Amino acid sequence: MIEISFSNKAKDYLKKKNFKHLLVKTNFFSETCVQIYEPKIAPLKKGEVKDLQDHEKVVLNGLDIYVSKKFLNRFIIEKKIEVDLQRFPKKLIIKNIDPIVINVCKIEN
C-alpha cells in the first residue's frame, strides 16, 4: 500500500479549498534532446472520479487520492509520497520524488 503524507501547509490548503479528491500522475513533456517525466498531484472534480477505476485508491482522513498506474510504473516508490504546498503559484507538489530526465539525442564521438 502506498503511504502519503501532507505538510501542515498542504493540509491547511486542502481544508481551505475543500478538496475531496486528488490525482497523483505523471506529466510527460519533451524539449530539445530530453524527455521529462514529472510527478504531479492535482485536485479532481467529482465528475472526473468515475473515470479512475484502474487507479490505485488511497483514502486518508476523508480525502480520496487516486494514484495512476503510469505513475507507479515510472517512479519506484520505496518510501512515502510527501506532499507540500508551493508558494507561487499556489499548488500542491510532490516534494520527495524528482522528475526523470532522459537524454534522447545521440552524441557520436
- Report the mean per-residue pLDDT for the chain: 90
> b/e map of 54-83 (b: 16 or more CB within 10 Å)?
ebeebeeeebbbbbbeebeebbebeeebbb
pLDDT exceeding 70 applies to what percent of the chain?
95
DSSP letter for each residue of 3-24: -EEE-HHHHHHHHHHT--EEEE
The CATH number covering residue 38 comes to: 2.60.300
Provide the total of helices (H) and of strands (E) in the chain, helices listed first: 2, 8
Asked, for residue 108, whether it belongs to a domain, the answer is: no
Rounded-to-integer distance, Cα 67 and Cα 61, Å: 16
pLDDT digits (tens, 9 = 90+) for 10-51: 999 999 999 999 999 999 999 889 999 999 999 998 788 888
Look at the chain and report how many structural domains it folds into. Answer: 1
Asked, for residue 109, whether it belongs to a domain, the answer is: no
